[in-house]
Chain A
Amino acid sequence: MPVSILKQREYLIASVQSALTDTEVIELRDALLSEVAKHRARGVIVDVAALDVIDSFVSRSLSTVARTNRLRGAKTVVVGIQPDVAAAMSQFGLTLDSIDTALDLEAGLELLDG
């Protein structure tokens, strides 16, 4: 899975390195959920700047991560959605309503710090 997951303070930062297959999206989803539990993380940032496409499957998987983490008391912030990808998601109606988003990693950390 071309994703690195690092711990920074009480947060996890997952950086997607390249386009993902659906199988890799599932691996990412499951890794995020298990790593949050393992590290007792209070927040997760998912950096998706490397994703060329965010379609219904990726959106649904990110929403699952955010909802599951919320039940555990952890926040999820998706950062770095590319402008063209955001336009396609908007046209499609994939609005990630249940997920916080931020421009980049720094803004995502600010959001988690509240």
Chain B
Amino acid sequence: MSNISRDEVAHLAKLARMAVTDEELDVFAGQLDQILDAVAKVGEVASDDIPPTSHAVPLTNRFRTDEVRPGLSQQEALAGAPAAEEGRFRVPRILGEEQ
């Protein structure tokens, strides 16, 4: 069912925002192919009449009351930042646009 190419792995890596080396591409292409072949087994029993389960324990309607709770100070928020400036997280220039 699967037959995952190097190009597809490269595409996945792009979607997942990971730079991968050429060497990794080869290794992952082989391994993903092998894994996907194995796990495709789920298709054998997943017939149309079976509802999917997204949550193991069936709960509904868990709501929070609309009351302010203490959060973090600016200093705490920025404590782990690789770079910060003027109370904000500093990041390299952004190429893409907002969605």
A and B physically associate:
no
A positions within 8 Å CB-CB of B:
none
